[in-house]
Amino acid sequence: MPSSLRPSRFALYRLRMNQQVYLAIVAALLVAYLLTFAFYRYVAQPSTRNTAAYATLVKFVSDALPPLGAPEAAQAAVVEDWVARTRAAIALYDPNRKLIVAAGHRHLHPPPAGQTTDGWMPGESNIYAAVLPDGRWVLVAIEGRSGPLTLGFALFLITLTVALGVYPVVGRLTRRLEKLQQSVAEFGAGNLSVRADTAGADEVGMLARSFNHSAGQLEALVKAQKSLLANASHELRSPLARLQMAVGLLGTDGKRAVTEEINRNIRELDELIDEILLASRLDSPQAMQGLRLESVNLSRLLREECSRYGATFSGDEGQIVGHCALLQRMVRNLLENARRYGAGAPIEVRATRVDGAQMEFSVWDRGAGVPPEEMERIFEPFYRVPGAKESAGGVGLGLSLVRSIAAQHRGTARCVARPGGGSGFVVRLPLE
């Protein structure tokens, strides 16, 4: 899609769906309002002026009027009589365009100086002015004709009524879509038991039922996979234990090397099963739910684990909230990785506070290092750097677990190159 057509560039797409639909309806009403008003004002309204009717009324009034010099009361009586008969607004002006008498539902201003003959007054929609032979002016406006403002106000009321009536209808329609979207978001976050509201026989209800059906199938598949994994792991450990016991009984001097090799393979299989089970549990975003979280002194935990591996520790103190056993597993995996691939060089561990809100610790070795293009891939399950020897041990899940445990504690884990050769694994976690 061209960049100029991307939806994110349009402000309308930043609104919620009910707001978009509602604004579209209101905009259509406003356009209809403007077009109707313009048509009436500039097309229909001028053609509806009944000049003959106005001229006839003026003729009746002028025939009934007394002469110019007659008392104003006599002239006013005639004007008021015709106003009572017709309910029109009538005004009488002398030749100097000075008001003699006016009556009716509205005040009629004198004709402008530029108007010298009978006709419609400029700038007025329905005021007819006629000059009498004696120079007097008679102005007439018949009551009941709707001007543009009256029509515009009526259209505005119609638009407002429709706008207010449509809003709850649009809101009800899109509210169901919003609830469906929330269910999909929860399902995507790992809550496989969530289901959508299937009320209604329209497309939204059909979509909700399709989602529920798919969600049920996926939940059943995931449960079956986890059950199979747990059962397989349990069944594998039983023969491993029996095999280890049998190998111990065969441990004579002549077969010690073979026995040690078999024991090493058994330990790797047991470690693999343990890490597969842990990786399976950490795969869910809700993995931390149900676990006992506590305040952990990360610096003390690092010191204790460093003493097990003969690594040196330096850095700041910091408290974090997490699961102590998982944090220990993360640190041990990093230290085990550094010992396995560090070419026997001393391992260094450093802890640093970052921005006063995070704790960062790093594990450094002096091994062959990790190529830049492999620094992300080594966190993938079962991935090994090309050239790594299987005799070094490990099952390829240690670093994957490190990143998973860090993510479950709202942290990050990454690999960096160490100046002078070697690698560093940096983990950043939020402080308590």
| Segment 247-256, tens digit of pLDDT | 666 655 556 6
Are residues 406 and 413 in contact, defined by beta-carbon separation less than 8 angstroms? yes
Helices (H), 292-383: 298-309, 324-341
Which of 62-66, 144-148, 152-156, 353-357 has the largest mean confidence? 62-66
CATH of domain 205-282: 1.10.287.130
In the chain, what percentage of residues exceed pLDDT 90? 23
The reported pLDDT for the residue numbered 211 is 86
At 162-173, the pLDDT tens digits run 777 777 777 777
Distances in whole angstroms, Cα of residue 12 to Cα of each of 7, 260, 406:
9, 70, 39
User: Alpha-carbon distance 333 to 327, whole Å?
Assistant: 10
Q: What is the pLDDT of residue 81?
A: 92
Q: Which residue has the higher pLDDT, 224 or 7?
A: 224
**pLDDT, position 394:** 57
Helix (H) or strand (E) holding 327: helix 324-341
Domain boundaries along the sequence of the chain: 51-145, 205-282, 294-430
Q: Which long-range contacts (CB under 8 A, 24 or more apart) does 122-125 make?
A: 125/45
The answer on pLDDT for 362 being more than 90 is yes
103: number of CA atoms within 13 Å, CB side? Answer: 16
Q: Sorting pLDDT into bands at 50, 70 and 90, what band is 9?
A: very low
Q: What is the pLDDT of residue 1?
A: 41
Most confident of 141-155, 172-186, 385-399: 172-186
Across residues 18-42, what is the average pLDDT? 75
Q: Does pLDDT of 235 surpass 90?
A: no
The token pair that represents 386 in the structure block: 């090309």
What distance in Å separates the CA atoms of residue 329 and residue 350, rounded to the nearest whole number?
18
Taking Cα atoms as reference points, which of 152, 149, 124, 154 lies closest to residue 139? 124
How far apart (Å, rounded) are the C-alpha atoms in residues 9 and 144?
51
- How is the chain split among helix, strand and coil, in percent rounded to 5? 55, 15, 30
* Confidence (pLDDT) at 21: 75
Q: Half-sphere exposure (CA, 13 Å, Cβ side) for 92?
A: 25
The average pLDDT across 276-285 equals 66
Same fold, 205-282 and 294-430: no
Given a cut of 70, is residue 49 above it in pLDDT? Answer: no
| pTM score of the predicted model | 0.48
* Cβ atoms 247, 263 nearer than 8 A: yes
Q: Which CATH superfamily is domain 294-430 in?
A: Histidine kinase-like ATPase, C-terminal domain (3.30.565.10)
* Neighbour count for residue 187 (Cβ, 10 Å): 20
Tokens of 272: 């693999």
Judge whether residue 359 has pLDDT over 70: yes
Q: Which amino acid is at 71?
A: P
Distance CA 376, CA 257 (A): 37
- Integer-rounded Cα radius of gyration of the chain: 45
Tokens representing 74 are: 């006599």
- Reported confidence tier of residue 8, pLDDT bands at 50, 70, 90: very low
pLDDT tens for 75-113 read: 999 999 999 988 889 999 999 999 999 998 888 989 998
For 300, the token pair is 């003390």
Mean pLDDT of the chain: 79
What's the whole-number mean pLDDT along residues 366-371?
88
